[in-house]
A and B are shown apart, each in its own frame.
Chain A
């Protein structure tokens, strides 16, 4: 019995469309050294970047596929198109964005959002950033928010100083792949002491069939500054595999505060293999607020390296795995300095045969005295055939660490359902409400508009869960 809640419209269809666009430039499917050279040449990059890409490509080729995590056996690198350029350049005015692309983003509600409550918006379409804008007053204060390609050209000192320092090209196979063929992503710089009052938002869209999107985001928040960055992702369902391999590097300089929020809602044919990592310097706070509801396979473990004394890390990671999905997500906190603190909360829901994995690491290195860290990860399994896995790694090498870890796995309790049903809800509505409550730890961290949107997404995921 599926009861359709009149308040819930299934708008996934809305994101499932695709444009028949003629790309200005695209590489042939498959990846060779020539592809890497071609991308670099198209972008007219400095020589050092080409060298960096080639070094990364060599490592990518030499490195074995990870044999843990999700099933990557069906991922065929030779079928992917590594670069697709939809427009001539990154526009600052929405009116200048090519019509067809503009329409796409307007259907997705951008830049409507910008006018309402954002400090700036960026939009990436396949391989290239098509639009970026920042509120004028922030621009005057020196806040930089632009495509990473453009950032490399306009701010070479900041770019070269930090690029690849948090996630080196040799970090893992997919970081190497991204380093070889990266294109687009956001480059953000917030100068000393500047507080960006409203979030900056980036929107990532994969349009083309078999497209690989390899955005590269570099965020540098200078001493005492603060930033909230939000990203959202969608793609049409092509029923052939697309690949999203991003690298995100965040540098939180002393005393700064950075929050990075992701709502990942790729279509169910996307491999989402992302390396996200932050360096938190003395007294800095870094927060990853990460939700994964889409993609066929997600492997993503946002990490924070606490490099300076009294740095704080906060990671909230939620995942919903439905039919045909494997959400292999988690968190990583590496304490390298004294008196650093971290808190990790992981919540996952699996249903209709989905697999939700929590994979997390807490490490306290020798010398990192007075560390306090806590991990809480909970999972809900809604039906038989779904699977929940929990793999926490706790590696402590200092004697005065205070670490606690707790995890539970369970189902939605019959008592709770019964209670809500006796108050007039259908079983489905009751389950929805309980799942929403379970994930509230994430929702409450979002700006209100996003929270409403996320709850709607969850309701959609849950519709018919009890069928």
Chain B
């Protein structure tokens, strides 16, 4: 591969020189899962990037400049981190990066029976046969961690810190979480990285790739609070895949913030198979500059009396785009379902674009509620006027309104320090977006 200008790619093309059989052999030798990797590789090469015909018009992987990137070979096994790394108030720290997996379990976690171990190579990855991005991870995952809490519950959050690799490198990390019957836990995921200029550059123009799974299995009556803040540098390609399997009466509360990365293409699958299982999801997407956030949530209400309450809020500035899609499926078995899917957008610039496709697919008339709502609007000038009349400057007023719009998501984070930090990050990004906007307006004038 020469460093010459790369050939123009189609919007759905994802050429990866390392997604091949030789690499899979190498990965099999180190981590196992050979036959499953081979099947997934086959699926990756034969599946279309977007298998759902509803969404084929909204695929754009042109920012995934990964040609010439290398698939990392992080150290196998799990190392022990010093106790000093454990953030105050946290039960455990699990750190996943190009340097391998490191952990530190606090006293509460150990007492409750939390185990963190390398993911067995033959652990099946559901969805790898039908979804191309899942298949990519299923074939080429080079990091695997299994987190299990079979009996005891933990009140303090388990921190999972995921760090993106350096420019030109690819990290594909699988994370499987299993909670036993009636177990409750809180997980706080921090997805971060260092910008290319401060990291080591390998002389390639390829971007960094971070692909992750979060394979959550909730036993009967289990309760999980999951928060995820993604603050990757704006040159990373991020492909998160989440799949949640629900036992009877299991509950998941998920709060996710997507702030960084150049390109995010994410997929969440809620498999509400257990009767009476519940999911509550709040997601915030804040994109500026040239960012593209492409997020799809599938909820399958297969069990009886399941509840799905999904809310996504997007803010798009600069030339950013957001494709926020959802499919709520209620098959015949899903009697008495209560489901809501809301997708809301706010555009802060004339060049930004917001696409919302909240779809419903319903085969069971006996439902308590099956609804979706969506709106896109600017900042209400009346609200600005109201706040200015109370002495705020225009910029403060706008910031207050946008922060208020995002607050339901921020407030859902389990650790107060995290919520505060997210508020700071959002406020900083907002100020930058407004500044860029005023600068553009000044140039235009």
Binding site for B on A (CB under 8 A): 67-68, 366, 379, 381-411
Contacts and interface: CB of A to CB of B under 8 A. Distances in A.
Interface string B360-384: 1111111101111111111000000
Given A391-B359, A396-B345, A399-B349, A411 B375 contact: no
Nearest to B363: A387
Contacts of A402: 375-378
A409 B357 contact: no
Contacts of A68: 53-54
A364 to B, nearest CB: 8
B96 to A, nearest CB: 36
B195 interface: no
A408 B361 contact: no
Contacts of B367: 409-411
B109 to A, nearest CB: 43
B241 interface: no
B365 A390 contact: no
Contact of A405 (B362, B364, B369, B375): B375
B352 interface: yes
Top 10 A-B pairs, shortest CB-CB distance: A381-B365, A411-B365, A399-B347, A405-B374, A390-B360, A409-B370, A403-B376, A408-B371, A404-B375, A394-B356
A411 B366 contact: yes
A384 B378 contact: no
Given A387-B363, A388-B360, A399-B349, A405 B373 contact: yes
Contacts of B350: 366, 398-399
B411 interface: no
A393 B360 contact: no
B434 to A, nearest CB: 12
Contact of A408 (B343, B352, B369): B369
Contacts of B358: 392, 405, 407
A362 to B, nearest CB: 9
B357 A393 contact: yes
B372 A407 contact: yes
Contacts of B332: 384-385
12 contacts: A381-B362, A381-B365, A384-B366, A389-B359, A393-B355, A394-B354, A399-B352, A401-B378, A402-B377, A403-B377, A406-B374, A409-B360
Nearest to A399: B347
B353 interface: yes
B58 to A, nearest CB: 8
Interface string B38-58: 000000000000000110010
Nearest to A408: B371
A165 to B, nearest CB: 24
Contacts of B257: none
Nearest to A411: B365
B327 to A, nearest CB: 9
A408 B332 CA distance: 18
B369 A396 contact: no
A379 B378 contact: no
B348 interface: yes
A404 B351 contact: no
B378 A386 contact: no
B353 A395 contact: yes
Contacts of B352: 397, 399
B369 A401 contact: no
Nearest to B358: A392
Question: Is chain A's interface secondary structure helix, strand, loop, or mixed overall?
Answer: strand
B347 A398 contact: yes
Interface residues of B, number: 37
B371 A406 contact: yes
Contacts of A381: 362, 364-365
Nearest to B352: A399
A397 B353 contact: yes
A390 B330 CA distance: 12
Contact of B365 (A386, A389, A403, A408): A386
Contact of B373 (A67, A379, A385, A406): A406
B322 to A, nearest CB: 10
Interface in B199-235: none
Given A401-B347, A411-B367, 7 more contacts: A385-B332, A390-B372, A392-B356, A394-B357, A394-B376, A399-B350, A401-B378
A421 to B, nearest CB: 19
Given A68-B53, A403-B375, A408-B370, A392 B359 contact: yes
A404 B358 CA distance: 12
Contacts of B53: 67-68
B353 A396 contact: yes
Nearest to A390: B360
A379 B365 CA distance: 10
Contacts of A390: 359-361, 372
A393 B327 CA distance: 12
Contacts of B54: 68, 391
Contacts of B345: 396
B371 A407 contact: yes
B375 A383 contact: no
Nearest to B347: A399
Contact of B374 (A379, A384, A394): A394
Nearest to B371: A408
A408 B330 CA distance: 13
Given A396-B353, A409-B370, A410-B370, A387 B362 contact: yes
Contacts of B364: 381, 384
A207 B138 CA distance: 57
Contacts of A410: 365, 367, 369-370
A366 B384 CA distance: 24
A410 B365 CA distance: 6
B357 to A, nearest CB: 5
A384 B365 contact: yes
Contact of A383 (B357, B365, B372, B378): B365
A409 B371 contact: yes
A398 B378 CA distance: 9
A437 B366 CA distance: 20
B378 A400 contact: yes
Nearest to B373: A406
A341 to B, nearest CB: 14
Nearest to B330: A409
B376 A382 contact: no
A411 B372 CA distance: 16
A390 B371 CA distance: 10
B409 to A, nearest CB: 20
Nearest to B339: A409
A407 B373 contact: yes
A397 B367 CA distance: 35
Contacts of A389: 359-362
A405 B324 CA distance: 14
B374 A404 contact: yes
Contacts of A406: 371-374
Contacts of B348: 399
Contacts of B376: 394, 396, 401-403
A407 to B, nearest CB: 5
Nearest to B361: A389
A411 B364 CA distance: 9
Given A399-B349, A401-B378, A409-B362, A394 B355 contact: yes
A394 B57 CA distance: 12
Contacts of A408: 369-371
Nearest to A409: B370
B365 A392 contact: no
Contacts of A379: 362
A393 B375 CA distance: 12
A409 B362 CA distance: 8
A277 B81 CA distance: 65
